[in-house]
Amino acid sequence: MTYDTKDNEKELIIPAIKGVRAILSAAAATGKVKRVVLTSSFASVIDINRKAGPGFTYTGNHWNPLTYEEAAAPGTSAVVAYRGSKLYAEREAWQFVEQQKPSFDLVTLCPPMTFGPIAHPVDNPQQLNESNAKLWEVAAGCKTLPEARVPVWIDVRDLAKAHVESLLRKEVSMRRYTPASPDKFSYELVASILRKKYAEAREEVLVVDDAALPESYDLDWKSVSEDLGVEFHSFEESVVDLFEGLQAAGMSPWTT
């Protein structure tokens, strides 16, 4: 996906909806598929205007109230339109199952920022996914640390585990989850971890005086743990394992 768009509806929203519809239609045509687990996004859950703070927990019962018209409007930023694309793609999936009554049921997972080691080949930083690219940016010595606009996250391995268990456990039929670590993160914490773990990083990574975690809303990680048996990696594990894997593949932000 890209934020470099000229028409939000044609480039972001409609392709997302059509993609879900096409895959579910193909699955339904076989008559043999028993369950579909859909990777949605926290973007389809969060209500930006709520200004939710500490003590508030987003669950699978919450939906982003963004209207289709707002998301598709020419003056809407691509960031907001992207949230709309995730929202209406997921709504398409639930509507499909309700109306078409296919052979399968549905589980959707709505994760926030996703960090951790990469399994597929990556030759350069430009090929990193959006979340991990921010970690690389910090490691490479950015002059100003990014802002954690969404300070909730999950390790990719924990998210993968949630997908597999969602597929295998009959009792979670037609459930919607917000998989996330119990702990918050900040890019100040990223800088602190890198400087502590890697001597070479101390030459590049910004010195931070305070790596305190932000106070903010939570996601309902307990349901993911209890229903799907997911045990969460720590943020330090996620960051270190990412860079260990990248260095093993010949990519390092601290070598020329």
Could you read off the pLDDT of 7-20 as tens digits, one per residue? 999 999 999 999 99
Structural domain spans, the chain? 1-110, 112-154+181-256
Task: Enter the CATH code of domain 112-154+181-256.
Answer: 3.40.50.720
Contacts of 67 (CB under 8 A, 6+ apart): none
What digits encode the pLDDT tens for the residues 202-256? 999 999 887 778 889 999 999 999 999 999 999 999 999 999 999 998 999 997 5
What digits encode the pLDDT tens for the residues 37-95? 999 999 999 998 888 888 999 999 999 999 999 999 999 999 999 999 999 999 999 99
Task: Report the alpha-carbon distance of residue 102 to residue 208 in Å, rounded.
Answer: 53
- pLDDT exceeds cutoff 90 at 139: yes
Average pLDDT over residues 123-136: 91
Give the pLDDT confidence score for residue 214 in this predicted structure. 81
CB of 78 within 8 A of CB of 3? yes
Domain 1-110 identical in fold to domain 112-154+181-256: yes
Average pLDDT over residues 141-167: 95
Give the pLDDT confidence score for residue 246 in this predicted structure. 94
DSSP element (H, E) containing 35 = strand 35-39
- pLDDT exceeds cutoff 90 at 121: no
Sign of CA dihedral 101, 102, 107, 111: negative
Joined together, the tokens standing for residue 7 give: 């028409």
What digits encode the pLDDT tens for the residues 26-36? 999 999 999 99
Give the pLDDT confidence score for residue 256 in this predicted structure. 53
Task: Report the alpha-carbon distance of residue 65 to residue 91 in Å, rounded.
Answer: 12
Task: Report the alpha-carbon distance of residue 61 to residue 70 in Å, rounded.
Answer: 22
Give the pLDDT confidence score for residue 1 in this predicted structure. 58
Rounded to the nearest 10 degrees, how much is the dihedral formed by the CA atoms of 134, 140, 141, 147? Answer: 0
CB of 250 within 8 A of CB of 243? no
CA-CA distances (angstroms) from residue 256 to 11, 50, 52, 192, 242? 37, 45, 43, 22, 19
DSSP element (H, E) containing 173 = none
- pLDDT exceeds cutoff 70 at 2: no
Task: Please check whether the domain covering 1-110 is classified as CATH 3.40.50.720.
Answer: yes
Give the pLDDT confidence score for residue 255 in this predicted structure. 72
Give the pLDDT confidence score for residue 9 in this predicted structure. 94
What digits encode the pLDDT tens for the residues 172-201? 999 999 999 999 999 999 999 999 999 999
CB of 80 within 8 A of CB of 71? yes
Give the pLDDT confidence score for residue 102 in this predicted structure. 98
Joined together, the tokens standing for residue 228 give: 């799907």
Task: Report the alpha-carbon distance of residue 199 to residue 253 in Å, rounded.
Answer: 13
pTM of the full predicted structure?
0.93
